[in-house]
Amino acid sequence: MSVQLRTPSLTLLVTLGAWLLAIIWVSPLLYAVWTAFHPPAYAARFELFAPLTLDNFARVWNAAPFARYFLNTFMLVTLILVCQFVVCTMAAYAFVCFPFRGSNVLFMIVLLQLMIMPEVLLVENYRTLSKLGLLDTITGMALPYLASAFGIFLFRQTFKSVPKELEEAARLEGAGPIQVLLRVFVPIAKPTYVAYGLVTVSYHWNNFLWPLVVSNSVQTRPITVGLQVFATVEQGIDWSLVTAATMLSVAPLLIAFLIFQRQFVQSFVRAGIR
């Protein structure tokens, strides 16, 4: 549906409203960007020709192990993404192609995790990790998220739309269950994998509370926790440093978003609408 605004005055009003809201919306971000790229003397002062500098970023980069934090986040997100793909694909395939008595009830029980996410259970999950000896490890940080009800749900929906004939044709050619999955179902579900992948990457790149509780050293801390540790130490002293650190830590995801904006938005919609 495209709304035709026929009266020019109304069009102008709506345009102004839209732009005003947009400007309000980006102003906190732009204010932080301004401070991050200018010397501390211009931290909260606007002068059009104030000298630009990358000095704040250099100081931040040298003050805390941000490279290591990025590596940790990268490892955490990769581990979660790969395992979620495998675990959720297998489970969804079972629900669609190998139904047994009670599998529908089982599916409903799985969906419970949509409501009660691992963060809410952090006290018990912490206890479990400590029993397993996995505190302060990236594996431990990833474990509660590896089986995602959301992923199982999404893949199941997609697999259900695969025509039965394709599946049977593959089977007649002598393909076993795993081959059918890999040759028929997974290729058809490719857009769903991309959509789910983007959603899960941005979720876990940004995740904070659980990693904060589990990680306790530079070797495991992801970027969000690293930023928090850095900002707590610097807090209120040097805004140039805090904003530069913030911009630095959001840069990879933000740049990726600005480049692949359309795919991001479509993925979120595709993952949400079902």
In the complex with another protein, which residue's Cβ is closer, 78 or 113?
113
Instruction: State in angstroms the smallest separation of the CB of 53 from another protein.
Output: 17
Distance CA 86, CA 88 (A): 6
By CB under 8 A, tell whether 166 contacts another protein: no
Query: The dihedral of CA 266, 141, 186, 102: what is its sign?
Result: negative
By CB under 8 A, tell whether 269 contacts another protein: yes
Restricting to residues 61-120, name those near another protein by CB under 8 A: 86-88, 90-91, 93-95, 97-101, 103, 106, 109-110, 112-113, 115-120
By CB under 8 A, tell whether 237 contacts another protein: no
By CB under 8 A, tell whether 121 contacts another protein: yes
Nearest Cα to Cα of residue 270 among 190, 205, 206, 185: 190
Restricting to residues 9-68, name those near another protein by CB under 8 A: 11, 14-15, 17-19, 21-23, 25-29, 31-32, 35, 43-44
Instruction: State in angstroms the smallest separation of the CB of 83 from another protein.
Output: 9
By CB under 8 A, tell whether 200 contacts another protein: no
Instruction: State in angstroms the smallest separation of the CB of 130 from another protein.
Output: 11
**Six-digit token string for 141:** 């940080």
**Six-digit token string for 27:** 């102003």
How many chain residues interact with another protein (CB under 8 A)?
96
By CB under 8 A, tell whether 130 contacts another protein: no
By CB under 8 A, tell whether 135 contacts another protein: no
Distance CA 18, CA 53 (A): 33
With contacts defined by CB under 8 A, name the span among 56-64, 160-168, 184-192, 223-231 that binds another protein.
223-231
**Six-digit token string for 169:** 């044709």
Q: Where are the alpha helices (DSSP H) in the chain?
A: 8-36, 55-63, 66-97, 103-115, 122-132, 138-142, 149-160, 164-172, 177-180, 186-188, 190-206, 209-214, 223-234, 239-259, 261-273
Let me know: does 260 contact 106? Beta carbons within 8 Å. Answer: no
By CB under 8 A, tell whether 146 contacts another protein: yes
